[in-house]
Structure 1
Amino acid sequence: MYRIQQVKLPIDHKEDDLWIKAAEALRIKKEDIKDVSIFRKSIDARKKDEILFIYALDVETYKNVKISKRNTNVSLVEPFIYDVEVTGEKELNNRPVVVGSGPAGLFCALLLAEKGYRPIILERGRMVEDRVKDVEKFWKDGILNVRSNIQFGEGGAGTFSDGKLNTLIKDRSKRGKKVLEEMIEAGAPAEIAYVNKPHIGTDLLRNVIVNIRKKIISLGGTFRFEECLTDIMIKDDAVYRIITENDIIETDVLVLAIGHSARDTFEMLNSKLKLEAKPFAIGLRIEHPQKMINEAQYGEMAGNPLLGPADYKFVHKSKNGRSVYTFCMCPGGVVTASSSEEGGVITNGMSFYDRDLENANSAIVVQISPEDFGGLEAPLAGVEFQRYWERKAYEAGGGNYRAPVQLFKDFKEKKISASFGEIYPTYRPGCTFANLWDCLPDYVCESIAEGITAFGKLLANFDRPDAILTGVETRTSSPVRITRNSEMQASIKGIYPCGEGSGYAGGIMSAAIDGLKVAEQILKIYKPFKEQE
């Protein structure tokens, strides 16, 4: 198979044009091509009057083709199939337990189930179908279910997001391909396998999660919802039993695929495992009209359905030395109330697959280091740092999980806004005008004000006076890392920290990939589980 890079075509091209371009690149007739598939697709919008699609194509031919060494855009590649062998020799006395059903937990459990290990998956929250109802009730009435919300429940926090599937991690073992193929099999659109910035959207992602759960069950896995891990029993420096609110479970393999908001679990683990504070970021959500973003990025071609809604990604080094950057940008989406504890306000962003709502939103966040919150001495200090500012936001919003909001022009002047401009906030249960400088450290607010102004030079009107800022965004990643060794085990044998909550991922794809990596390590040590007669 031949891979052809840098195939450029107008956005309104025909499918046959891909075959023509492939034949030209290989210097053969189109009739000599057996098949053409898209390996990667991206948009080149540098010239607003000539926006192009850029393809990488995989081409199968009926005969061998001689490739010129001077043609660096053509290479010979082998199809890659993800498969790992079971090489472990150690007997499992009990079924492995995976704590958490976010992307890391689901894909760890999936691989274990495929190889005959019959994992038990514990999830403190509810299954997707029930969780959606709890979240909607919270958004409508301000009634928070601390066990079933945007942070807790089947699918993890990413279930209520834009469903982004891009990742910056290197993936030489092609685990990402496995993740995408499983998602497509579970109902995700086929395009996620090749578009440059794939996303599913919260509406499609929910169904994908349900179908992955059903597949794991069909392979021998067991899900136990509304069951929270409360303690771990250790003997001879190894796990042998865990305790939940409802049961005592014997196990010699425990995967901790907990979420970044599992604060009570962090507290329990702090006396048993080696934890360390890690950097994260905090800030605010900003909203603009999606139409404005489209026009700034695509010019006269804005609104063309072939292009879809435009996005952006910016970073700026502020005068105080801190990085401020956009995070989890959601085209055509909403700002979501994402609290998991009573008395705290947290924001996040969410889009549906079509990304067709009026506002675009993104977090504008500033990097925080353990030195900022005393994390060098106390592993859980970052949790308290987050909690402090979440409660400040709750107070500023006036209670009932209303969020504090401020227009950008007033934010710069530390003045409470009096009225909205052309943009209205999408956050539910509601908003209250407040001074957001009361909800974050000054150095964060200074960086945000400077950053938004700088971003206005990169995207027209990004710093418009009536841009809406909503606070606060504190759960960008876990404030804690559970240390693990080269075999991916914690300081206690048989315990495998995994995914975003344990400090080893940041987003759906990287968490799912980490779940596969942990499962692979288990396959190297243990045989598949068999019931003792």
Structure 2
Amino acid sequence: MYRISQIKLDLNEDKSCIPEKIQRKIGRANIRVTDYKIVKESIDAREKENIKLVYTVDFSVNEDISKWSSKLKLAEAVDEKYRFVPSGLKVLKNRPVIVGFGPCGMFTALILSEMGYRPLVLERGNCIEQRVKDVDQFWRDGILNEESNVQFGEGGAGTFSDGKLTTQIKDFRIGKVLEELTGAGANQDILYKQKPHIGTDVLRQVVVNIRKKIIENGGEILFCSKLTDIKLVSGNVQAVEINGTNWIDTENLVLAIGHSARDTFRMLHRRGIQMIPKPFSIGVRIEHPQEMIDIAQYGRKDTGLGAADYKLSHRCENGRGVYTFCMCPGGEVIVASSQKSGVVTNGMSYHARESKYANSALLVDVRASDFGSEHPLAGVEFQEQYERIAFIEGGSNYRAPKATWEEFTDKTEKGIKIRKCLPEFEAEAMSEAMPFLGKKLKGFDSPNAVLTAVETRSSSPVRILRNECLESNFSGIYPAGEGAGYAGGITSAAVDGIKIAEKIAVKYSPMGSKQNG
């Protein structure tokens, strides 16, 4: 099997012409392409009048052609099928406990269940079926369930998002993640799209199907079950407390708690789990007509390519970075609060991305020196401060403050409300960067662009320290995923969860094995 890149199709050409394109590219019209697989699909929109779909393809032919073309190389001689690590020999006295059922905890539980370790998952929020009702009630009536909301519940914060799978990491475990997601109902195109996404509507069913698979393999998920304390003996974890009442013995505790479990951060700090403050970013959601973005990126709105996206950045004179993050084409801005008397915003898209509006976070770097304290949880308090202000400025009813860019720059009443929700350096950096961002994407600095405050949870404000075995300063405690400061997004969090599962598996024999009785 060979691999060839830069197979280009016009927008009106069908993928069925790929074999013919391969023949032309290597100059051998008489060969027969017996089968092919798209490895990667991207869009080349540098020439707006001649947009191309560009493919990397693995294919087989009926004869040896490697000597005929320098454009070919053998497809990577790597078996992409994920292989479980060898199980260890140590007796596992109690089931591994995983706290959090977002992408990280979900994939830790999936791997451990597939290997026979019968993990127990504690999720403070509700299952998807009830969680959707809780979130809808919050958006409709302003009634916040602090344990079941946009941040907490089955699937984690990513369930109410765009479901983006883009990542900067390179890891063979990504194939396992994508395989499980497609097997659970995600579209097959996530296997090759340059910027894959699932969509909140599809993702809600995907996580349910993964939950069912974990249970079928011997795992267990307890919803409405919050970690409230841990028991540590002689430097080891011994048990965990649920909801302030029940204790469960375990010698392996995976902390896949997400970036919003502030009460859990505080409890862990009291118990001596080592952590440090971590830089993050703060800003607003900025919203434009999707048609404007399509025209800016593709030259027209009717390309058949779906809603266009963007990624922008600018470095200010004082060194602060201003950038867009978590862009949601054809999406909507949502209030994503999880704490009483606080407002935080996020973006969300359905799979079809058919909304008339596009939005993204417009963020500015926050440094640890901005926190005003060296306390490990100073970043948490920094976030809470501005979320409380946004709650008040929005009317104290969980409605987020909004203003146009023109109102923000002119410092009208609405504009001042947005400014109050941000550190002073944020407003200054945005004002400096916006003209440069407008040059990179025509219309981005439109006076009518809508700002919604405040976006504080682009990443965790805390890093829970871990060693080369991925354990904290207490043996058997595994800080994991985005909340612990080791991932950023669905895919990287899932990969980190798999790594944690592997560390447990290589140490212990599975539950029910001969060693474990």
State the match for 1:131 in structure 2: 131
How much has 1:319 moved relative to structure 2? 2.3
The one-letter code of the counterpart of 1:463 is: D
State the match for 2:423 in structure 1: 441
What is the rounded CA distance, in whole Å, between the counterparts of 1:208 and 1:378 in structure 2? 39
1:381-424, Cα deviation, whole Å (9 max, x unpaired): 0000000000111111111111111110121132224xxxxxxx
State the match for 1:194 in structure 2: 192
How much has 1:255 moved relative to structure 2? 0.5
State the match for 2:406 in structure 1: 409
Unaligned runs of 5+ in 2: none
What is the rounded CA distance, in whole Å, between the counterparts of 2:18 and 2:464 in structure 1? 48
Give the RMSD, CA atoms, in angstroms: 1.5
The one-letter code of the counterpart of 1:438 is: K
The one-letter code of the counterpart of 1:261 is: S
Q: How does 1:353-392 map to 2 (within 5 A)?
A: 353-375=351-373, 377-392=374-389
How much has 1:194 moved relative to structure 2? 0.2
What is the rounded CA distance, in whole Å, between the counterparts of 1:379 and 1:530 in structure 2? 41
1:19-73, Cα deviation, whole Å (9 max, x unpaired): 11223345545653221110000000000000000100011233333246x7255
Does the CA-based 8 Å contact 1:4-1:25 persist in structure 2? Answer: no
Q: 1:67 to 1:175 in 2, by over 3 A?
A: farther
1:121 aligns with 2:121: yes
1:304 aligns with 2:286: no
1:315 aligned residue (307, 313, 327): 313
User: SS where residue 453 of structure 2 aligns?
Assistant: strand
What is the rounded CA distance, in whole Å, between the counterparts of 1:61 and 1:235 in structure 2? 63
Q: How does 1:128-527 map to 2 (within 5 A)?
A: 128-171=128-171, 174-245=172-243, 246-271=245-270, 272-300=272-300, 302-305=301-304, 307-375=305-373, 377-417=374-414, 435-527=417-509
**Residue correspondences, number:** 512
What is the rounded CA distance, in whole Å, between the counterparts of 1:251 and 1:146 in structure 2? 27
Does the CA-based 8 Å contact 2:164-2:195 persist in structure 1? Answer: yes
The one-letter code of the counterpart of 2:388 is: R
1:18 aligns with 2:18: yes
The one-letter code of the counterpart of 2:75 is: L
Does the CA-based 8 Å contact 1:20-1:30 persist in structure 2? Answer: no
Does the CA-based 8 Å contact 1:303-1:309 persist in structure 2? Answer: no
How much has 1:435 moved relative to structure 2? 2.5
1:61-98, Cα deviation, whole Å (9 max, x unpaired): 33333246x72553332342111222312111001011
User: SS where residue 136 of structure 1 aligns?
Assistant: helix
The one-letter code of the counterpart of 2:250 is: T
What is the rounded CA distance, in whole Å, between the counterparts of 2:418 and 2:369 in structure 1? 23
How much has 1:434 moved relative to structure 2? 5.1
Q: How does 1:56-67 map to 2 (within 5 A)?
A: 56-67=56-67
Does the CA-based 8 Å contact 1:25-1:74 persist in structure 2? Answer: no
1:124-162, Cα deviation, whole Å (9 max, x unpaired): 000011100100000011110000000000000000000
Moved more, 17-26 or 362-371: 17-26
The one-letter code of the counterpart of 1:412 is: T
Does the CA-based 8 Å contact 2:408-2:416 persist in structure 1? Answer: no
- Percent sequence identity is 51
The one-letter code of the counterpart of 1:223 is: I
Unaligned runs of 5+ in 1: 418-432
What is the rounded CA distance, in whole Å, between the counterparts of 2:446 and 2:153 in structure 1? 37
User: SS where residue 306 of structure 2 aligns?
Assistant: coil
How much has 1:452 moved relative to structure 2? 2.2
Does the CA-based 8 Å contact 1:19-1:30 persist in structure 2? Answer: no
What is the rounded CA distance, in whole Å, between the counterparts of 1:11 and 1:51 in structure 2? 7
User: SS where residue 221 of structure 2 aligns?
Assistant: strand
User: SS where residue 43 of structure 1 aligns?
Assistant: strand
1:491-530, Cα deviation, whole Å (9 max, x unpaired): 1001111100111011111100111111111121111123
Does the CA-based 8 Å contact 1:411-1:449 persist in structure 2? Answer: no
What is the rounded CA distance, in whole Å, between the counterparts of 2:53 and 2:178 in structure 1? 22
The one-letter code of the counterpart of 1:98 is: I
Does the CA-based 8 Å contact 1:405-1:434 persist in structure 2? Answer: no
Moved more, 401-410 or 43-52: 401-410
Does the CA-based 8 Å contact 1:396-1:434 persist in structure 2? Answer: no
